[in-house]
Amino acid sequence: MPDYNLRLIIPEIFLFLWALFIIAFDLGTKRKNPKLIGYLTMGGIAATAVLLYLYHGGISFNNMFKSDPLALFFKVIFLGSAFMAVGSSFDIIAQKIKNHRGEFFGLVLFSTVGMMFLASAGELISLYIGLELTTIPLFILAAYYKDDRISVEAGLKYLVIGAFSSAILLYGLSLLYGLSGTTDIVMMKINLALLYLNTNGIGWALLMAIVMVLAGIGFKLALVPFHMWAPDVYQGAPTPITALLSVGSKAAGVVAFMRIFIDGLYGFADAVMFPLDWGNIVAVLAAAAMILGNISALRQKNIKRMLAYSSIAQIGYVMVGMVAVSELGVGSVGYYMFIYLFANMGAFAVATIFNDNTGSDSIASYAGLSKSSPMISAFMAIFLLSLAGIPPLAGFAAKFFVFAAGIQAGYTWLVILALLTAVVSLYYYANVIKMMYFAPDNPTIKLNTPLSANIVLIIGVAGLIIFGVYPEPILNFALDTARVFGF
């Protein structure tokens, strides 16, 4: 009997069981204790992080589950985003969700488990199931306000687009399997290279596989031109779920992209492989994402839609590091996602708090917020400035490394474009800050924040400042993940 090394999946198993426990506990206590189950969920996530620290390093299930540095790094991001999403959803649970409260947290945890399985997948089928396990709970969570038309619309749109993109992805993966004869990603890398060298006839089939897989993952990442679902879904879904979608599920897409493209299709990133060079295809999509995301964000009046377009642009920046296919490239992408976790979760947490207190998502209603709630306004300013990439906040370092990787790999045009669009992005981020600080006084509302949301905000701000001033440890950890791909 082969060694299954079950020890390595203890964190995932624990989190799965904890999700069941949360649902059962809520069912057993008749939904009387929304706060308690919220804190239990946060505790469970923290405990999973500890278990992850204790049990990692190695492979199990015949290379299908890899507990390598890359998986570990991204699992920290997933747990962080789930932690912060749960932390900022207490008021929503108390006010808007009368029913199925335990399931709300349970589904968040299920989705996180899916992300963790996905990050560890060394094989295409496990990767696909991990991806489904990530997105299916999110379909349900997006439609969680069952009586709210736009939430239901968000859930339905996300479901249709998600199912459609899964089908495309699956078709692409089946072509990869057909060409390479294996679902193991490392074996696939070898077989594809051999096949390419030995036969000169796999060009079109491989190109189609690459395009299909790219489209499938592109939908999950909301990469242009597969982004059209994002603004509507982000707007309609409960705000903490939007935050989870924009950070956790996006980071899951990034890690899936890395596993398939940087690992499995490593040989085909180069321009020499024309027309199979996925590097150039992705670079063009990244450019489109940065241009379209930033320019569309300028016109948005709703904070969630604005952040949706901003996250489309952000994934464009991430892809600049990705196409570099180098140690710095992989490392900078990891670092970027790590910083993005704090900034974006923080910004959405503020949007959640604001909506809980005022019932509004419009940017105009943030006018004069600094007078009534100076602390939260200052936090929001920090999150937005970090997203824009202003030093000394961590967002600056993140953009810096990503751009450095791009230049190192010879994508100078892409980096110049990225810099130009980053300047544009400053305008719409600053617009919110201008509203909060310099708008003529509106009748203002004092924002009440529950303790858990305060924890989330403090984690966000602390992360941005600490890792902005002192990026080395995380950056080294992120660069270490590139070892997985042999850089």
Partner 1 sequence: MLDLIIFYFAAVIAVGAAVMMIMQRNPVASVLYLVVSLVAQAILYVQLNALFVGALLIIIYTGAILVLFLFVIMLLNLRGEHFGGKQSRMGRASKIAITVILFAEMVAIFKQVAIPERIGTQAAAVAEDFGSVEMVASHLFKEYLYPFELTSILLLVAIVGAVVLAKRDKTEKMEDA
Partner 2 sequence: MFETLFPILFLVGVAAFIAVAMAGASIVFGRRTSEGAKYEPYESGIKPKGDTRGRFPVKFYLIAVLFILFDIEVVFLYPWAVIYQKLGMFGFVEILVFIVILLIGYFYILGKGALKWE
Q: Residue 25 or residue 400: which is nearer to partner 2 going by CB?
A: 25
Number of residues that bind partner 2 (CB under 8 A): 5
Q: Please calculate the CA angle 62-63-64 and round it to the nearest 5 degrees.
A: 95
**Quick one: three-class SS letters along 245-297?**
HHHHHHHHHHHHHHHHHHHHCHHHCCHHHCCCCHHHHHHHHHHHHHHHHHHHH
Q: Please calculate the CA angle 73-118-228 and round it to the nearest 5 degrees.
A: 100
Closest Cα to residue 311, out of 414, 384, 390, 212? 384
Please classify residue 486 by burial: count the beta carbons closer than 10 Å to its beta carbon, then call 0-12 exposed, 13-18 middle and 19+ buried: exposed
CB 248 to partner 2: min, Å: 23
**Is the separation of the CB atoms in 216 and 166 below 8 Å?**
yes
280 part of the interface to partner 1, by CB under 8 A: no
204 part of the interface to partner 1, by CB under 8 A: yes
Residues 36-65 that bind partner 1 (CB under 8 A): 61-62, 64-65
- Applying CB under 8 A, which part among 74-82, 98-106, 403-411, 441-449 lies near partner 1? 98-106
- Applying CB under 8 A, which part among 142-150, 248-256, 317-325, 347-355 lies near partner 1? 142-150
ω into residue 137 within 30 of 0, thus cis?
Answer: no
23 part of the interface to partner 2, by CB under 8 A: yes
Q: DSSP secondary structure string, 424-439? A: HHHHHHHHHHHHHHHS
Residue 78's binding partner among partner 1, partner 2, none (Cβ under 5 to 8 angstroms by kind) is none
Please classify residue 81 by burial: count the beta carbons closer than 10 Å to its beta carbon, then call 0-12 exposed, 13-18 middle and 19+ buried: buried
Among 140, 289, 306, 457, binds partner 1 (CB under 8 A): 140
Q: Residue 170 or residue 415: which is nearer to partner 1 going by CB?
A: 170
Task: Tell how far CA 185 is from the center of its chain.
Answer: 22
Residue 65's binding partner among partner 1, partner 2, none (Cβ under 5 to 8 angstroms by kind) is partner 1
- Applying CB under 8 A, which part among 16-24, 153-161, 383-391, 407-415 lies near partner 2? 16-24
Q: Per the structure block, which two tokens stand in for 209?
A: 């596989």
Q: Residue 35 or residue 146: which is nearer to partner 2 going by CB?
A: 146
Among 27, 160, 375, 423, binds partner 2 (CB under 8 A): 27
- Applying CB under 8 A, which part among 21-29, 180-188, 409-417, 461-469 lies near partner 2? 21-29
Residues that bind partner 2 (CB under 8 A): 1, 20, 23-24, 27
